[in-house]
Amino acid sequence: MADTVPQPPRAGRRQAGPPGEPRRIAYLYIAPALLVFGLFFLTPLLHAVWLSLYEWDGLSVGTWVGLDNYRLVLTDEALREPFVHALTLIVFFSIIPCALGLALASMITRSAVRGVNFFRTVLFLPQVVALVVVAVAWRQIFAPDGPLNDFLRTVGLGDVARGWLGDERYALICIGIVGIWVCTGLCVVLFLAGLSKVPRELYEAARLDGAGPIREFITISVPAVRGELAVALTLTLVAAMRTFDLVYVMTSGGPGTSSRVPAYEVWDRAINKGQVGVGVTVALILTAFILLCTVLINRLSESADS
């Protein structure tokens, strides 16, 4: 029996699209992930949007109000104030930790500190401690009879001592200081990972050319960690905007409304006051703001790389 010789493809006929399996097969591969995403993210999100269009206490039948909840959040000063406080916390949770983390990572890399893994572990420890535990510890530190005031009295600054968390001027700042302590270690670890990819010959060449520490920092360190900086800004900004544990344990939004933030406002409105529609609306606006900031940071990072 003669061997069958494969016939060459007819002229003018070619496979449509890119080589490989049809695109519909690729959709079958990602279908399980899309199903989970839709079930646990898109469905609750759409349900939240639906709830935001009602005035509902969580128990009785809701009343359709359309976009009134959105108008209330945008026009009511008591509901706008938490977003202003969240913007303030971004400075403490994101901008300051990123600046400190970049400076510390650059100094550690430049001076070749021994035991860098130990320092990295110690600095990262706040990230693995539950924020409730962190809040309880720092609440004791800021207490009227806490270690901070004891130290101030010891060094002759007793007039400065006060109930820090009970003072409207300092309550939010105290929460921000805790945010610096928590987030700086994460930034240092990220920047150390980025700087570890930079050949030390670049620093040595810069020193031979007469560059000082500041010049090295600007021309070598900062460009080397541009991607890590985008990640750090994104993670710390999200942490600042969704802060709840620290506020709930340390100040409960007080004194007055001086430390209320959007996440705490969502809980208070929906659970304590029975204003589920308003609470969900605040949560959706917060989600949209976080998404916008994340996209903006990623776009800026991509444009800087190109």
Structural domain of residue 199, as residue ranges?
85-259
Residue 209 belongs to some domain of the structure: yes
Tokens of 232: 């750090």
The Cβ of residue 234 has, within 10 Å, a number of other Cβ atoms equal to 19
Domain assignment present for 107: yes
CA angle (244 as vertex; 119, 152 as ends), nearest 5: 60
- pLDDT, position 21: 61
pLDDT at 10: 56
Is 192 inside any structural domain? yes
In a domain, 275, yes or no: no
pLDDT at 1: 47
Q: State the pTM of this model.
A: 0.85
Contact call for residues 83 and 262 (beta carbons, < 8 A):
yes
CA 72 to chain centroid, in Å, comes to: 27
Q: Dmax over Cα atoms in the chain, in whole Å?
A: 107
Is residue 42 domain-resident?
no
Q: How many domains is the chain partitioned into structurally?
A: 1
Predicted confidence at residue 257, as pLDDT, reads 93
In a domain, 250, yes or no: yes
Going from the first residue of the chain to its last (306 residues), give the mean pLDDT of each consecutive group of 10, the final group possibly shorter: 54 53 80 91 92 91 93 93 95 95 84 72 86 95 94 92 93 96 92 85 80 81 88 94 94 93 95 93 95 91 74
The domain spanning residue 185 has which CATH number? 1.10.3720.10
Q: What tokens were used for 284?
A: 């959706």
- Domain-embedded: residue 78: no
Grouping H, G, I as helix, E, B as strand and the rest as coil, residue 215 is helix
Q: Is residue 281 part of a domain?
A: no
The encoded tokens of residue 82 equal 């938490």
